[in-house]
């Protein structure tokens, strides 16, 4: 074995590198499927919001928010179920429809329209006195930090269809 050559890899070093390499490869081979398995939900494509019929005729809508109940088919992994949803729907001044989610943006309680005599014509959350204007905009100084989410909507044959609730940033 010649000692004078530079960059000589000793037998010990060579074996160390090889063992580390093989060991690393084996560890990666073991861990890769497990990690991919664990993060699978994050890598699933975002579910496209299908529009669901509410059975509510658009002609019945007024400028006063109405409670509209509808049902969506929810797929939770190996469970499929029908989930009831609620929207507060009304016609805005320009005639367009606004369908607000009743979920308080503070901690997720159910927000009611005009159901507290101290706060007429407002959305009121009974959990922590959260308030929203008719447009869904949160009233500053009350717990919510964002306006009520608005459902995507569509009208087919005069019937209101609702999609996903889209969160809205504070204007």
Partner 1 sequence: MIRKIYDWIDERVDITPIWRDIADHEVPEHVNPAHHFSAFVYCFGGLTFFVTVIQILSGMFLTMYYVPDIENAWNSVFYLQQEVAHGQIVRGMHHWGASVVIVMLFLHTLRVFFQGAYKKPRELNWVVGVLIFFVMLGLGLTGYLLPWDNKAYFATQVTIDIAESVPYIGDYLKTLLAGDPEIVGAQTLTRFFAIHVFFLPAALFGLLAAHFIMIRRQGISGPL
Site residues (CB under 8 A) for partner 1? 38-39, 41-42, 44, 46-47, 74, 76-79, 107-108
Instruction: Provide, rounded to whole angstroms, the least separation between the CB of residue 82 and partner 1.
Output: 14
- Please give the Cα distance from 104 to 19 (Å, whole number): 58
Task: Tell the smallest beta-carbon distance from residue 67 to partner 1 (Å).
Answer: 22
Give CA–CA dist 118/52, Å, rounded: 35
Q: How many other C-beta atoms are found inside a 10 Å radius of the C-beta of residue 21? A: 10
User: Exposed, middle or buried, 34 (CB in 10 Å: 0-12/13-18/19+)?
Assistant: exposed
Task: Supply 19's token pair.
Answer: 């063992």
Residue closer to partner 1, measured from CB, 1 or 38: 38
Strands (E), the chain: 52-57, 66-76, 79-91, 97-100, 112-113, 123-125, 130-132, 150-156, 159-166
Select 65 or 130, whichever has its Cβ closest to partner 1. 130
Q: Which is nearer to partner 1, 29 or 79 (CB)?
A: 79
Nearer to partner 1, 38 or 171 (CB): 38
In the bound complex, what is the minimum distance in angstroms from residue 92's beta carbon to partner 1? 27
Smallest distance from the beta carbon of 126 to partner 1, in angstroms? 15
């Amino acid at each position: 074995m010649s000692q004078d050559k530079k960059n000589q890899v000793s037998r010990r070093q060579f074996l160390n590198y090889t063992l580390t390499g093989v060991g690393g490869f084996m560890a990666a081979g073991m861990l890769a499927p497990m990690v991919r398995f664990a993060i699978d939900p994050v890598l699933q494509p975002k579910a496209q919001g299908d529009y669901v019929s509410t059975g509510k005729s658009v002609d019945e809508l007024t400028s006063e928010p109405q409670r509209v109940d509808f049902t969506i088919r929810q797929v939770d992994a190996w469970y499929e179920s029908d989930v009831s949803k609620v929207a507060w729907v009304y016609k805005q001044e320009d005639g367009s429809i606004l369908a607000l989610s009743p979920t308080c943006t503070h901690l997720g309680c159910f927000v009611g329209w005009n159901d507290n005599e101290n706060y007429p014509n407002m959305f009121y959350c009974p959990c922590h006195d959260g308030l929203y204007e008719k447009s869904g905009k949160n009233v500053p100084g009350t717990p919510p930090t964002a306006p009520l989410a608005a459902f995507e909507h569509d009208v087919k044959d005069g019937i209101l269809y609702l999609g996903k609730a889209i969160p809205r940033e504070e204007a």
